[in-house]
Copies of this chain bind each other. A is one copy, B any other.
Amino acid sequence: MRLTKAQAAENRQHIIDTAGHLFREHGVDGVGIADLMKAAGFTHGGFYNHFPSKEALVAEVALSGLQQKNVMLAQALRDEAGCDSTALAQFIGEYLSSAHRENRAGGCTLASLACDAARQGKQVQGSFAHGIEEKLDILTASFEKPHAERQGGRPSCARVRAIHLLSVLVGAVMLARAVADANPALSDEILQVNRRQLLGQRKQGRRAGRGRHS
């Protein structure tokens, strides 16, 4: 039953992608190897032909999941380089949407697995660190581009804003998800408030800073 090298590689990536969806939905500890391999369409014994351990899989899943989203984000932001980016506003709006809140499996790996990462080994945290640095670079570039002059030549300011933005996004989605079933109104409010805070702030630009939010 030996397969083509291409076919084997494809199967391997399919296992990683399937694991990504399951881990984000049910947590790392909430998904067994047997569950995973069955969901991917295989028997569980074959898992160890691809990965030396579950932990190694988790590290690959985190890296792959974060990179896929980063590529998408970079592309969306690059497509409208130069003009005052509405792509960033769209990204923020989608990240803080109820659709993203409900779509754990297909959503951002940070918002789903960041607190699992704290309890994982160095290998997994390395994947997270790489994915986060990558996303910060993309966001930083996006902040630097359109406002290069107006920022007053302080190069670190864009990175500061990127780090702060990512923190808000991840925290808001996590809190919204933590109360989604028990208190949907509060969950909606958390998303809405942060959406307006971040997008209103952007719209008002550097003029008045934090001001009235309707």
Contact = CB atoms under 8 A, between A and B. Distances in A.
Interface stretch (A10-18, A42-50, A79-87, A175-183): A175-183
Interface string A135-171: 0000000000000000000100101100110111111
Given A29-B29, A121-B181, A157-B213, 7 more contacts: A27-B29, A115-B177, A117-B178, A125-B179, A125-B182, A129-B186, A164-B168
B122 A182 contact: yes
B163 A193 contact: yes
How many copies of the chain does the oligomer comprise? 2
A2 interface: no
A175 B166 contact: yes
Contact of A177 (B118, B174, B186, B189): B118
A19 interface: no
A156 B96 CA distance: 20
Q: Which of A29, A159, A196 counts the most chain B CB atoms within 10 A?
A: A29
Nearest to A26: B119
The secondary structure that dominates the A interface is helix
A92 interface: no
B125 A180 contact: yes
Given A113-B115, A119-B30, A186-B132, A171 B181 contact: no
Contacts of A111: 115
Interface centre among A25, A129, A133 (most CB of B within 10 A): A129
Interface stretch (A33-41, A68-76, A202-210): A202-210
Given A129-B179, A178-B117, A197-B160, A210 B210 contact: yes
B190 A167 contact: yes
A172 B167 contact: yes
A194 B163 contact: yes
